[in-house]
Amino acid sequence: MHSEQTDDNRESIVMPLFEVVVYPKSRAKFLADKVTGEILLNDMKNAESVYAIGLTVKSGTKPSDLSEDDLYKTGNLLKIAYIQPADDGYLVIAKSAQRVKAVSLIRKDGLFYASYEPVPDLPDLDEDIETEIMENIKKAIQEISSRFQGSEQFMRPIEKMDSIDQLIGYAMPYMPIKIAEKQDLLETVSARERYFAFFEILMKQKENINFQMEMAKKVTDKISKSNREAMLREQLKMIQEELNGCDNAASDEEKYREKIESSKMPEEVKKKALSELKKLETGGNHNPESPVIRNYLDLLLDLPWVTEEKKNIDIAEARRVLESNHNGLEKVKERIIQHLAVMKLKHEKQGSILLLIGPPGTGKTSLGKSIADALDRQYVRVSLGGVKDEAEIRGHRRTYIGALPGRIIQGIRKAGTKNPVFILDEIDKLSASYSG
């Protein structure tokens, strides 16, 4: 049995406390394992007072791996006030009788037992100073709790407390600090040092809360309604990624931004692309314009803004290709060779235009293919015969359903280079209409 302790009987069963530090003159509620709980419950049936030593377990220790070295040696002699079966153990409510230190620890049948000695306070504080400190501590707790809901209910017990140790025991479980720091406060023997250390903890928490609220207010003041919606959508995406196990997956908008920033498109085009991307980010996937914007960005990223074929013109090779592919047409071939020679001498950066006129079947289109072979460039042919709408050439407005880029842009995109040999075939057969 673990009944009333005397000077000659300073041995007791040990209750390991996980993530709990009990302070003198305070009450605590915690879970005990089934074996320890059954022993204490049986003792309470046979004794008027039942005691146990509460020793805090060091952080990161699993119950199955618990050993003597995992227990802090300074704890409290707890008077058991209430015990009741609960899930995975027993719910225990106890009050600290005094602070003690475990002199020796033994383990028997899976339970810990300890011989202990009291650890009294070092009374190094005047009563007047203690009263002043207590008032300051109550004021600090009031200021901190006022930031949260239920402040009045939280403060009611504090108003009746007449010692700083009671305040420590009541407030410390709510302090978001490490177990080791809470244990250090318990082990501080000097009343002056312990009270000032507790007051310093309160001041740090007050500063942290004030800083967080100040930052939250500044952010809120600067964010407009549209930006706030975008932020909430981004948070929702992050939550969904967490739930789906996609912590490191980048959003489509982020991928678009990376591609645009790394592309070598002209600055004017890049500025337009980023403007469209901003619309996409703000509107979200539910915006009906999202597919249109995505198609537009895909087109801009697919165009060969800097990719080009080699510019060295080999006149002899060009003449050989033309001669091997075409019989006759000597004047035409000679004129083409002259044009290529001028291009080579002038180092023209801009494209040049050749107009081939003649009856059907005389080799105009095939000459264009031969020129591409001679220059070792991509060959693109667009037939304009029967085209009645200029939009087919320059492209439709994006607002139209199923809108496509014009035939010229499609040809450049398909070629994958910005300087192909581009044939506009049957240009004389273009029709005129109200569309242009």
Average pLDDT for residues 311-324, to the nearest whole number? 75
Percentage of residues in the chain having pLDDT higher than 90: 23
pLDDT of residue 193: 93
Give the end of a domain, one of 118, 141, 174. 118
Percentage of residues in the chain having pLDDT higher than 70: 86
Q: How far apart are the first and last CA of the chain?
A: 104
Evaluate whether residue 435 is within a structural domain: no
Evaluate whether residue 3 is within a structural domain: no
DSSP state at residue 286: T
Instruction: Say whether both 156 and 112 belong to one domain.
Output: no
> pLDDT per residue over 65-77, tens digit each?
888 899 999 999 9
* Structural domain range at position 51: 11-118
Instruction: Say whether both 100 and 142 belong to one domain.
Output: no
Instruction: Say whether both 274 and 322 belong to one domain.
Output: no
Could you write out the three-class secondary structure of the chain? CCCCCECCECEEEEEEECCCCCCCCCEEEEEECHHHHHHHHHHHHHCCCCEEEEEEECCCCCHHHCCHHHECCEEEEEEEEEEEEECCEEEEEEEEEEEEEEEEEEEECCEEEEEEEECCCECCCCHHHHHHHHHHHHHHHHHHHCCCCCHHHHHHHHHHCCCHHHHHHHHHHHCCCCHHHHHHHHHCCEHHHHHHHHHHHHHHHHHHHHHHHHHHHHHHHHCCHHHHHHHHHHHHHHHHHHHCCCCCCCCHHHHHHHHHHHCCCCHHHHHHHHHHHHHHHHHCCCCCCHHHHHHHHHHHHHCCCCCCCCCCCCHHHHHHHHHHHCCCCHHHHHHHHHHHHHHHHHCCCCCCCCCCCCCCCCCHHHHHHHHHHHHCCCEEEEECCCCCCCHHHHECCCCCCCCCECHHHHHHHHHCCCCCEEEEECHHHCCCCCCC
Instruction: Say whether both 48 and 112 belong to one domain.
Output: yes
Evaluate whether residue 4 is within a structural domain: no
Evaluate whether residue 63 is within a structural domain: yes
Instruction: Say whether both 328 and 393 belong to one domain.
Output: yes
Give the end of a domain, one of 70, 91, 118. 118
Instruction: Say whether both 329 and 281 belong to one domain.
Output: no
Give the end of a domain, one of 220, 244, 270. 220
> pLDDT per residue over 94-148, tens digit each?
999 999 999 999 998 888 999 999 999 988 888 888 889 999 999 999 888 888 8
> pLDDT per residue over 335-357, tens digit each?
877 777 877 777 666 667 777 77
Evaluate whether residue 272 is within a structural domain: yes
pLDDT of residue 247: 42
> pLDDT per residue over 267-310, tens digit each?
888 888 788 877 777 766 666 777 778 878 777 887 788 777 77
pLDDT of residue 294: 80
Instruction: Say whether both 140 and 92 belong to one domain.
Output: no
Average pLDDT for residues 176-189, to the nearest whole number? 93
Instruction: Say whether both 95 and 162 belong to one domain.
Output: no
Evaluate whether residue 1 is within a structural domain: no
pLDDT of residue 389: 67
> pLDDT per residue over 354-386, tens digit each?
777 777 777 777 777 777 777 777 877 777 776
Evaluate whether residue 436 is within a structural domain: no
> pLDDT per residue over 225-255, tens digit each?
667 777 788 888 777 666 654 444 346 777 8
pLDDT of residue 241: 65
Evaluate whether residue 350 is within a structural domain: yes
Instruction: Say whether both 416 and 322 belong to one domain.
Output: yes
Pairing relationship of beta strands 11-17 and 51-56 according to DSSP bridges: parallel
Average pLDDT for residues 208-229, to the nearest whole number? 76
Domain of 375, CATH number, reads: 3.40.50.300
Instruction: Say whether both 89 and 136 belong to one domain.
Output: no
Average pLDDT for residues 24-48, to the nearest whole number? 88
pLDDT of residue 102: 94
Instruction: Say whether both 112 and 35 belong to one domain.
Output: yes
Instruction: Say whether both 72 and 171 belong to one domain.
Output: no
